[in-house]
Structure 1
C-alpha cells in the first residue's frame, strides 16, 4: 500500500512546528534575561561598560584586567576566594591590575540578597571586606540563612555602622542592578561560577 503524500507532509510539518515551538520556549527567556534596565540604581564603583561589575583601579592603563564572575552561594567560589582572594586583593592594593567583580545570582533568591548587600557595602567603601565575609560565612544554598538581618549583621562585622547600609539591604535597593549583572554575564556567555577572564 502506497503512503499518502498529504499525511507525510502533515507529519513533517507537525514535527517542525513542535521543534520550533520548543526552541522558542527555550530561547525567549534567555534572550529576555540578556536585557538590562537602564533605570536601575547603580552602586559606587560600578561601570555599565564593564558588565555592571564593581571595579577596582578602573583608572589604570597598561595593566591586566581581571574579571571575576561569582555567586555568593557557590561553594567553589568560596574555595576560589579562600585560595586566591589575598592575591587578588594585593593586586588591587598595589595597583597591579584592574579587578572587576561580577556578583551573579544563579543559585536563587539568597544569591540576589547577598549581591544586593554587597552592592550596599560598595557604597560604604567596604566591598572587599564584605565580599570576604560573605565567602567565609557561606551557608547551605537557599536555606533561609542569608536574610536581611544576617546580612546587616555581617555588614557590622565588616565595620559598616551606617543606617544607610541597613536601609539599603532591607529595601533591596540594588536588586535591579543584580539583574543587570546577570544580563551582562549572559551576554558574556558566563554560565558557571567562578569564571575568571584576564
Structure 2
C-alpha cells in the first residue's frame, strides 16, 4: 500500500471508529436495541424502512437528561394537544411526517393511548419537529393549518394512514391542499393559515424545542417526565401510563 493511499485511509478509519464508539455509548445510555427496531420495521415496505443502527430514527443522539416534565404546556386551546388539560398524566410526543416508525406508532399504539385520553386519564401534547427537511416542515405547517379548524388529528392520521409515510412528492403544497379538501376542511381558510407567519412561527418553535432537548431523531415520547425512545411495543406505553397514574393516585 502506498504512502499516499495510507494518508487517505487513516482519517476515514478514525472517523468510522469514532462513529462506532459513539453509537455503542448512546445505545447503552439510552437502552435502545436493534432487535426491537428490526421487529417494528417488519411490516414496512422496503423503500420506507428506516436504517437500523446508531443513527436510526428510534434514537436520541444526546445522552443528557433534560427536565422533560417542565415543558408540559397544558394549554386549553392547543390545537396539537389531545385530552383534558387537567388530565393526571401528560405524554409529550416528538415526531416527523417522514419517519416510518412515527407512522407505525400512530397506526398501532395511538389508538390504545386514545382510550386513556377518552377516560380523562391522559393528555397528549404533540410536537412535529421536522428533522427530515422541507417536505416534513411543509407537512407540519399543513397539519397545524388543519388544527386552526380543529382538525389537526384528522390531518395527522391521514398523513400516516395505514401506518405508512407518504413519499416526498405526496407532501407538495398541492397534495396537502388536496388532503384538506378530502377531509372536508374549508380549503380557502386552510390555504391562508398554511401561509400565515404565525403558523410558521409555531412550527419553528416546536422544532427549536426538540433541538434544545437534544431530540435529533424520531419518534421520542415522554410520560411523567420519563423518555421512551422509539416506537416501542404497545405494552411499553401502557405500562408507563399505568405507572404514572399510580404515582398520581389514580
Scaled by the length of structure 2, the TM-score of the pair is 0.53
Which entry has the higher C-alpha Rg, 1 or 2? Answer: 1
In structure 2, the residue matched to 1:116 is 141
Q: How far 1:179 moved relative to its partner? A: 1.2
Q: Write the distance in 2 (CA, Å) between the matches of 1:54 and 1:172.
A: 17
In structure 1, the residue matched to 2:69 is none
Residue of structure 2 aligned with 1:163, choices 165, 177, 188: 188
Scaled by the length of structure 1, the TM-score of the pair is 0.66
Q: Write the distance in 2 (CA, Å) between the matches of 1:76 and 1:129.
A: 19
What does the per-residue CA deviation read over 1:5-46, in whole Å, with 9 as the maximum and x for residues that have no partner?
A: xxxxxxxxxxxxxxxxxxxxxxxxxxxxxxxxxxxxxxx933
Q: How many residues align?
A: 146
Residue of structure 2 aligned with 1:56, choices 82, 87, 98: 82
Q: Does the 8 A contact of 2:94 with 2:126 survive in 1?
A: yes
In structure 1, the residue matched to 2:77 is 45
In structure 1, the residue matched to 2:166 is 139
In 2 relative to 1, CA 131–184 (structure 1 residues): closer, same or farther, beyond 3 Å? Answer: same
Q: How far 1:76 moved relative to its partner? A: 1.0
Q: Unaligned regions of 5+ residues in structure 2, if any?
A: 1-75, 224-250
CA RMSD of aligned residues (A): 2.1
In 2 relative to 1, CA 155–132 (structure 1 residues): closer, same or farther, beyond 3 Å? Answer: same
Q: How far 1:58 moved relative to its partner? A: 5.1
Q: How far 1:163 moved relative to its partner? A: 1.7
Q: Write the distance in 2 (CA, Å) between the matches of 1:76 and 1:124.
A: 27
In structure 1, the residue matched to 2:105 is 80
Q: Unaligned regions of 5+ residues in structure 1, if any?
A: 1-43, 47-52
Q: How far 1:128 moved relative to its partner? A: 1.0
What does the per-residue CA deviation read over 1:94-139, in whole Å, with 9 as the maximum and x for residues that have no partner?
A: 3221110001100010111000011111111111111100111622
